[in-house]
A and B are shown apart, each in its own frame.
Chain A
Amino acid sequence: MKIRIPKILFVIGSLLSAYPSFAQDDLTALLGDVKEKPSPVSATFKTTRIVNGHSIEGVAKGVMDIKISHRFGRLNQGAVDLFGLDNAYIRIGADYGLTDNITLGMGRSNVDKEYDAYAKVKLLTQKDHGGSPIAISYVAAMSLKAFRTPVGESFILADRICYTHQVLFAKKVNKALSLQLTPTLVHYNLVDFSSYANNLIAMGFGARMKVSNRATVNAEYYYVLNKWDNAQTPYTNNFSLGMDIETGGHVFQFMLTNTQAMTERNFIGQTTGQWGKGDIHLGFNLGRVFTIKQPKGFEGSRNSTY
């Protein structure tokens, strides 16, 4: 016997089978399983220096950061010297990003006619979502005092050279707070007295706290383990308080510090200022970035550089 099935049942059946099997929320759920990849943490510090010393930051590939730095005289020089503003140490420098991981820099300071150069290499980048919790960089720097040899004295080339090695450990703890630990070795080819060590070992501490999206407050301290012993003008550890203000391509760094020099050999090993006595120097670093080499992959974009 033939079983007759009403046509309408077929229609209903076919409609049912075509009923969308996914609800609305499932659409987002389809994308929801996107796993967060570890991505590099950026802007641990605003620029390549915390105050006097190096920060973990380099310069991006093909970018040059020109830095004009001044450290004025001591505030306790009084009104006659306009609280030190009459006597400035000046360093003019440039940092260049050879690659995203290697920054080369050089500069010249007016005092001691000192030329300095450094290389900063990123060894480890801090990443979020399960990546490395800290960043590590290495800085090798040297400086050359090019002052004219005083009459009756002799300084061969080697006598004028100092070397600095630093390993930078940094962590951006959160959006606002970044910390850095900087074990440092400074080597002096020539020291003033035979009792002075040629190698100074120091530990640097740096911190920055964001006070707004464009301003940070910084602190930096270099503790020298084997300070030179000089009874007349005792060497001190360098402590600085600073403020960074960033306005797009510029970074202004203002600071109060107990050293007037801007090269490692000087501010780490040869600081004599004492905060308690008012030997405080007002200063600034003014940084401006220029794109020297255009990055690839933006040809034909509407950026004004093309």
Chain B
Amino acid sequence: MKKIILIAVVCCLQHFVHAQKFMTRSGQVSFFSSTAVENIEAINNEVACVFDATSGELVFIVPIKSFKFDRALMQEHFNENYLESDQYPKADFKGKIDNAAAINYSKEGTTPVKAFGTMTMHGVSQAITVPGTLTVKNGSVTFKAVFKVKNKDYKIIIPSVAAKKVAEVVEITVNSLLAPLKK
């Protein structure tokens, strides 16, 4: 009898731990371009993200039109001229966290992680590796990362008239809180 109870508990526990997924539709991704002339930062609070703690799989979907700029015209040009969001409405990242299995998701704390996978933006896919952190708190998971992206790699052309104002390499900051997914 004891054995059966024990096994039942183990089964339940394993099930609970292994099937754990975290998700959000209001994650934050921002980008920052800095030149001697001008600093431009835009923030997107409508990023969808899902993370499978068992397999370490991680997916980000970023709606391009949701990037908010303090200058309306910049936002218009960002969508119209640079990211061409009518044609390419979303950017995404599909990949894995290397050490996802080693993390205890029931214990609060921050672990350095590495995400590797494919980022697709402006119709161009590139393999990337992004170092960041995974924080477990109150049963939720927060991903934080800062990495650089070369506009050229994604065929985003900065014309010479704007070259002094828009950096060739922009900084992307990820800060997304994912809640456990209820089944």
Chain A residues with CB under 8 Å of chain B are 10, 13-15, 17-22, 24, 27-28, 30-31, 34, 36, 39, 42-43, 60-61, 63, 100, 175, 213-214, 246-249, 289, 291, 294-295, 297-298, 301-306
- The answer on a CB contact under 8 Å between A304 and B39 is yes
Over the window 1-26 of chain B, the binary record of Cβ atoms lying under 8 Å from chain A Cβ atoms (1 yes, 0 no) is 00100010011001101110101010
B11, B38, B73: the one contacting A289 at CB < 8 Å is B73
A–B complex contacts, Cβ < 8 Å, 18 sampled: A15-B14, A17-B11, A17-B14, A18-B11, A18-B17, A18-B18, A24-B57, A27-B50, A31-B59, A31-B61, A39-B65, A249-B73, A301-B43, A302-B34, A302-B41, A303-B70, A304-B39, A305-B71
| B48 x A63 contact (CB < 8 A) | no
List of 6 A-B pairs having minimum Cβ-Cβ separation, nearest first:
A60-B72, A18-B14, A298-B70, A304-B39, A213-B81, A302-B41
Contact A31 B23 (CB under 8 A): yes
Report the tally of A-B residue pairs with Cβ distances under 8 A.
Answer: 113
Instruction: Tell me which of A13, A20, A31, A291 contacts B48 (CB under 8 A).
Output: A31
* B15:A18 contact, CB within 8 angstroms: yes
Residue of chain B at shortest CB distance from A305? B70
A289 to B79, CA, bound (A): 18
Partner of A175, one of B23, B41, B55, B87: B87
Flag whether B102 is at the interface (Cβ < 8 A).
no
Q: A13-B11, A20-B52 are in contact. List 4 more A-B contacts (CB 8 A).
A: A17-B14, A30-B23, A213-B80, A302-B32
Question: Using an 8 Å CB-CB cutoff, how does the interface string of B94-138 with A read, 1 for contact, 0 for none?
Answer: 100000000000000000000000000000000000000000000
Given contacts A18-B11, A248-B165, A295-B70, contact A27 B61 (CB under 8 A): no
Which one, A27, A63, A247, contacts B72 given CB within 8 A?
A: A63
From known contacts A17-B14, A289-B73, infer whether A303 and B39 are also in contact, taking CB-CB under 8 Å: yes
Query: Who on chain A is nearest to B14 by CB?
Result: A18
B7 lies within 8 A of A43 (CB): no
Give chain A's interface secondary structure class.
loop
Chain B residue, CB-CB nearest to A172: B86
Query: In the complex, what distance in Å separates the CA atom of A303 from the CA atom of B159?
Result: 21
Task: Name the residue among B10, B32, B72 with the largest chain A CB count within 10 angstroms.
Answer: B72
Q: For residue A21, which residues in chain B have a CB less than 8 angstroms away from its CB?
A: 19
Checking A15, A30, A247 against B50 with a beta-carbon cut-off of 8 angstroms, the contacting residue is: A30
Task: Say yes or no: A20 contacts B41, CB within 8 Å.
Answer: no
